[in-house]
Structure 1
Amino acid sequence: MTPPQPPHRRPSQPFRSPDLGQPDAARNRQEPPAGAPAVRVYDQDGPGLRTEIREAVVVLVAVTLGGVLLGLLWLWLAPRVPLVGIASGNSWAVYPKETEGEQAIGIDGTFTLLGLAFGAVSAVTVFLVRRRGGVPLVVALCLGGLLGSLLAWRLGVALGPEQDVIAHAREVGEGVTFPAPLTLGAPGALLAWSLAALVVHLGLTALFGPRDPEPYGPYEETSAP
């Protein structure tokens, strides 16, 4: 009489004995394969909150101080609105020399374009220095752009033409053309730097930023027949 033969097993699926007496959670838990590299905590969580806050403060100060350069460029590149003063007795009246001129729009447009350029440059610089990014870094970049825009606006106004147009008209004389003070007719131009920095930095991080490592290397799990 022929003795019974053991069940046939495929070579690709080795036989595994069930873990008798073990709870379901222990049987279903996946163990890392032999030789898998250990995962360090800072590989996934970044350098730490204190380091990120310290870097964010540095970025905030550096971006804010960039507003000085923005203000000087705005003062240099922005068009001037020509004004003319007319005396009527002891009183003076100031009128635009060109009623249909577009210099006022050009002042706002120049500030907006410069803000967009500064936002893009600051975002690229911050990304090259700190590729991993992080919420504190993005917040510092946007807040610094807003503070830098405010600094540039106030600096351009302070260093620009005389604010008292009546006194300026009396100083230059009746009928003499003089430039109007620098003003921002569109307050939204102050947000151009922050918006450009946010969009560019998020785009660079999404495209070229580092990816989180896998906990373990790829392996194939064998199962019982």
Structure 2
Amino acid sequence: MYVLTIDQRGSSSDVDRVPDLVSSLAALTPATFERSVGDELQGVVEDAGEAVDVALHALRGGHWYVGIGIGAVRLAPGGSPREGSGNAFVAARKAVELAKAAAGQVPLSVVAGTMGRGNSPLPAREEGAMASAHAQAVLRLVGRLVQQRSDAQWRVVDRLRSLQGGAGRHGAQKQVARELGISEQSVSRTLLRSGWQEEWAARPAAAMLLDYAHARIIGSQTEGGR
């Protein structure tokens, strides 16, 4: 499981953005995201690709610190994230605090949950931690592309993604150009400058690393409990 703890940046001098993010995430994922405390929200997702989608969506506006915790979760089906427990929640809390401390970097961190040094095999713990660090590195690189994208670039990217969810076939780009009233060449140039192709290619890599980290972390906890 992946717990995402997302905290608003500069909330003391800004409007409360939690309701809008909760609403937009509801259109993105079936997982429940809700305010946990103050200007923070939290949710639990099962799929690594879904965790990537949520994290990058939150980074998009530049208003959020994003922490991803990987590990065990105890939560009743359909239950509120506020009722959950497990080391993934602890890891997510640590991750969002690390994101806040990442001065000058993309404000996202990934932390592997553990069951304690005496309970899980060292190689598996180390592999899980390393995979988490690699996932964080990829997500920060992609997050930089997402945060630097202009409104005009987002209009093209959003429309293209809504049409096919992919990197941009010729026919889809032509349709986007027609709907937005711009030339197909403009669409092509915008996609190139926005880094959309690179983002689309890197998302599965980030998800694969999160998935591998999860497998090693959960596996180490199972082995350690024998």
One fold, TM greater than 0.5? no
Could you say which structure has the greater relative contact order, defined with CA pairs below 8 angstroms and 6 or more residues apart? 1
Q: Larger helix proportion, structure 1 or 2?
A: 2
Q: What TM-score range do you get, normalising by the shorter chain?
A: under 0.3
Q: Larger strand proportion, structure 1 or 2?
A: 2
Scaled by the length of structure 1, the TM-score of the pair is: 0.25
Structure (1 or 2) with the larger CA radius of gyration: 1
